[in-house]
Amino acid sequence: MFKRVLIGALVSTAFAMPAMAEVSISGSAEMDFFYRTNQANGNGSSTDGAFGQEIAIIVNVDGKDKLDSGDVLKWRLAQKVATDYRYDSFGQREAWIGYQGTWGEARFGNQFSNQYLQLDWPYGAQGVGNLWADFGAQNVQYARAISYFSPSFGGFAFQAQYDLGSGTSDANAYEITANYANGGFRMDAGFSESKNSKTMSSEAFVFGGSKWGSSGEYLTTGENKARAYNVGAIYKFESGFDLAAGAKRNEWSGYVNNAIHAGNGKTTVDQYLVRAGYTTGKHNMNLGFQRIEDSKTDGATADDGINVVNAQYNYSLSKNSTAFVQVRHHMFDNAAKTSVMHGSWQLDGAANNGKDNATRILVGTWTGF
């Protein structure tokens, strides 16, 4: 009798409980082991080459709740862990709350730049991203963003983002992106502008912030400006082939422009990308080429262009895991490298020692969950 009463009470309690919001966990885990030629060591000289590794584990916690109006309240907390720098607290990668309906979607909080995401994947895939998405005048992240995502209009959609800054001063950072998809064809375009940032450089970064997931360090005197424009197209054939091409312009101007080149004028750098791939069964092969044109400052052209060739082979280990081999080779127009790129990491650690090339050979695995 007691068991029947207890079971009945439990069933009644279960039916009386309110429906819980949906929560899910997803992410990925990547292991990269690589060898890089022409490396700089601690005293500024070079070595013939060096081994290295990088482990990237990403955890996304997503939630959503259907409102009585029919709209959806959604949120995300995301973190990249097991790296030796950046992202030292949960939510530095992403932490936002959004509202979605037939009218589109609005998000508030720490978010990735949609232009960066557009450049990073799929255009910056297969080893292209170090100079396509991570280098340039665009931003990676807006720490205090308001974003709008339109619904699809016959395959066309657009997005807009604005960073509120420190809360006491305007960040003056915004972007507009758009895309169109129809069958195997896809086209993407974007524009962004950032002004009055203390941290302006050629490393795409958090606007105005001194670290990832922060926002609000802006100039009180003078003015600088960074602009980025991009356009690209991809076509996937039913035969398994796919082609991608893109163009991008970076512009830096104004006060503290010597963070890019000496002088207070305007510096521009144009970039171009072509990539081809083929997939059959568990095998996927890719070959790409990038051209970073000579920079121009106040109308004067510098001899600092770069050609980059990359190749990657992927093998599907399971539904969720892939193994890959990647080769990326930089060829510098000038052995003195380029003063537009401030960190050797942007060029796979290449030392400024008179050599006109640098290569990275990498093996790794990626798994999604």
pLDDT in tens, 29-61: 999 999 999 887 655 456 788 999 998 899 999
Q: State pTM to two decimals.
A: 0.90
CA distances from 185 to 230, 236, 238 (A): 17, 7, 11
- Separation CA 112–CA 241 (nearest Å): 30
- Separation CA 229–CA 251 (nearest Å): 9
pLDDT at 86: 55
> Is 80 exceeded by the pLDDT of residue 336?
no
Most confidently modeled range among 96-110, 189-203, 299-313: 96-110
pLDDT at 21: 83
pLDDT in tens, 271-295: 999 999 999 999 999 999 999 999 9
Over range 95-119, report the average pLDDT.
97
Most confidently modeled range among 9-23, 74-88, 329-343: 329-343
**Cβ–Cβ under 8 Å, residues 57 and 363:** no
User: For the ranges 122-126, 154-158, 182-186, 324-328, which has the lowest average pLDDT?
Assistant: 122-126
Mean pLDDT of the chain: 88
pLDDT in tens, 65-89: 999 999 999 999 999 876 665 555 6
- Separation CA 120–CA 102 (nearest Å): 28
Which residue carries 């959004």 as its tokens?
98
